[in-house]
Amino acid sequence: MEVLPPSLSYSAGKSASRYNRFQCRVVGTDSANPGDTVRIQLPDKSLVNMSSFCLNLDLELTGLTMHAGNNFSQAKLPHGQKLFSAVRVYVGGQLVSGGLSNQYDILYNALVKASCGEDWVRSRYNEHAKELIENGDDINSFHQNVDGSAGKLKGLASKKARYVISDFLGVFRGNGGKSIIDTSLWGSVAIEFTFNSAACIAKRAGSGFGATTVNASYKVSNILGYVECITQTTPLYIKLISLILDEKKDLIRFPYQNFITGVANTKSARLNINSGCIDMMVMCPLNSNYNSVNATVTAGDLSAQRYKYTAVNVDGSAVLTIGDSVFDSTTTNIQIQIGSDTFPKVPITDALDVVDITTNSLFSNSLYSQNLLYNGLALATGADVSTGYDTSVVSYYSRQSFLKENFVYIQSFADQEGWAAKNLTGIDTASQNLDVIVNFPISNTAGSGLFIGALVTSMLVFDSRTGQVSVVQ
């Protein structure tokens, strides 16, 4: 509606009068295993509110073992967004969102750690977000798995749970607010979900576990999508669209959020971006076993190895630590170069400074900022959990936790993302290939990596002269 006079644009924006919720079924089988891809088609010839889309499924966590004493294995039900390595959206047959990302789960988890608080987690129990802040899930805790006989803790060989997953990244966020797409104008909308490997599951083994690996995995069934559509609107919207189409001289633009991700194995990494506008960069170091489907959680940690972002020294040698009496942080060296410019102007040399930059990038120096960057586990006394999970542990906040498993660096290039402001206020790439060079220390251990993600603004463009839809990535 950017081509309309302000008064008409305002009226058109207020024209929606009635919504209804529609069910969207999977094309083909409605069950999946790790690595599988499913596709859901949204209603045709409708005004679809992409922001309202949610995915419902049943998940069974399998491969757990029950034995007496400490000879057992356990796993937490993963947060819903961790189930996907890729989320791609097609509009009119064109791939418009998520096409350059195979680490969707890492990007989403990093954004959650950097921008959400406990209230957000508590309000999303249907997505099983509880595991983000606690030593267990809705069914049992990490230290609860023995033979289940009288007087002993509850043990389970498998777990089953219903998931309701919403608030996806990409074209689900567009046009400055509700991402409403007129499928009669833009074409049909389809969403593809690629399910993650079992590396997304936080697993642990009892101290007496005899096997060499924990083979916990999952399978999903009864996959369904739900989305709201505008079922009744005033004649004004139809008249305005008809006017634009009949005159055949204007372009209709639809800005939306898009993302690009990659993993590098060097501390000086390069990410190639072709987009209308780069709004924000997201980076975090990855452990050497972040892709291992059998890796277990380190004693005292909340996160699976895939989501454990540990700061290291500038030479990649040792983990940054904070002692009981000395709150010094070891030297780091972090900076982003885009073209001839650098962000920040002076490299970050102290790892604890990253929290301030990350928080201000997301909340623009607001007093109401929140995050889970300091969140971890500790004994009820506040002491470090160093011997495992077979004692009472609680959610605990400390700077140690930030350096140990929540080291997320986010650098914003504008006060607001371009899709939300409908202004390309970030770094304008003029839709040309642009190299982003990142300097970021990673561990010297073989297999370690650096996750790099970019939140960008892309645009759907409808040419009323030709009736063609194009994508400006």
Q: What is the pLDDT of residues 93-129, one digit of tens each?
A: 999 999 999 999 999 999 999 999 999 999 999 999 9
What CATH number is attached to the domain comprising 94? Answer: 2.70.9.10
Considering only residues 67 and 434, tell me which one the structure prediction assigns the higher pLDDT.
434
What are 365-413's pLDDT values in tens digits? 888 899 999 998 887 666 666 655 555 677 888 888 899 899 999 999 9
On whether residue 1 sits in a domain, the answer given is no
Structure confidence at residue 68 (pLDDT) = 60
For residue 271, the Cα-to-chain-centroid distance in whole angstroms is: 19
On whether residue 357 sits in a domain, the answer given is yes
Looking at the structure of the chain, the number of domains it has is: 1
Rounded to two decimals, the pTM is 0.91
Distance CA 78, CA 423 (A): 36
On whether residue 421 sits in a domain, the answer given is yes
Check pLDDT > 60 for residue 2.
no
Angle between helices 6-13 and 235-247 (to 10 degrees): 130
Residue (of 438, 409, 105, 106) closest to 272 by Cα position: 438
On whether residue 30 sits in a domain, the answer given is yes
Check: CB of residue 163 under 8 Å from CB of residue 126. yes
Check: CB of residue 98 under 8 Å from CB of residue 259. yes
Distance CA 63, CA 230 (A): 44
Structure confidence at residue 382 (pLDDT) = 64
Residue (of 281, 321, 326) closest to 440 by Cα position: 281
What average pLDDT does range 156-181 have in this prediction?
A: 90
Strand partners, 282: 410, 453
What are 282-298's pLDDT values in tens digits? 999 999 999 999 888 88
Distance CA 287, CA 177 (A): 36
Which range marks the domain in which residue 220 is found? Answer: 6-472
On whether residue 42 sits in a domain, the answer given is yes
Distance CA 105, CA 165 (A): 13
Check: CB of residue 426 under 8 Å from CB of residue 418. yes
Residue 150's Cβ-count burial label (10 Å; 0-12, 13-18, 19+) is exposed
Considering only residues 77 and 213, tell me which one the structure prediction assigns the higher pLDDT.
77
Considering only residues 282 and 329, tell me which one the structure prediction assigns the higher pLDDT.
282
Structure confidence at residue 1 (pLDDT) = 44
Structure confidence at residue 10 (pLDDT) = 54
In our burial notation (b when 16+ CB lie closer than 10 A, e otherwise), range 215-229 reads ebbbebeebbbbbbb
Locate 231 and state its tokens.
């079922």
DSSP 44: S
Considering only residues 395 and 167, tell me which one the structure prediction assigns the higher pLDDT.
167
> What is the residue whose two structure tokens read 């936080």?
202
Confidence of residue 152 (pLDDT cuts 50, 70, 90): very low
What are 73-98's pLDDT values in tens digits? 888 999 999 999 999 999 999 999 99
On whether residue 256 sits in a domain, the answer given is yes
Structure confidence at residue 433 (pLDDT) = 79
What are 183-202's pLDDT values in tens digits? 988 999 999 999 999 999 99
Considering only residues 419 and 335, tell me which one the structure prediction assigns the higher pLDDT.
335
On whether residue 132 sits in a domain, the answer given is yes
Q: Which residues neighbour 290 within 8 Å (Cβ) at sequence distance 6 or greater?
A: 199, 305, 306, 308, 449
Structure confidence at residue 297 (pLDDT) = 87
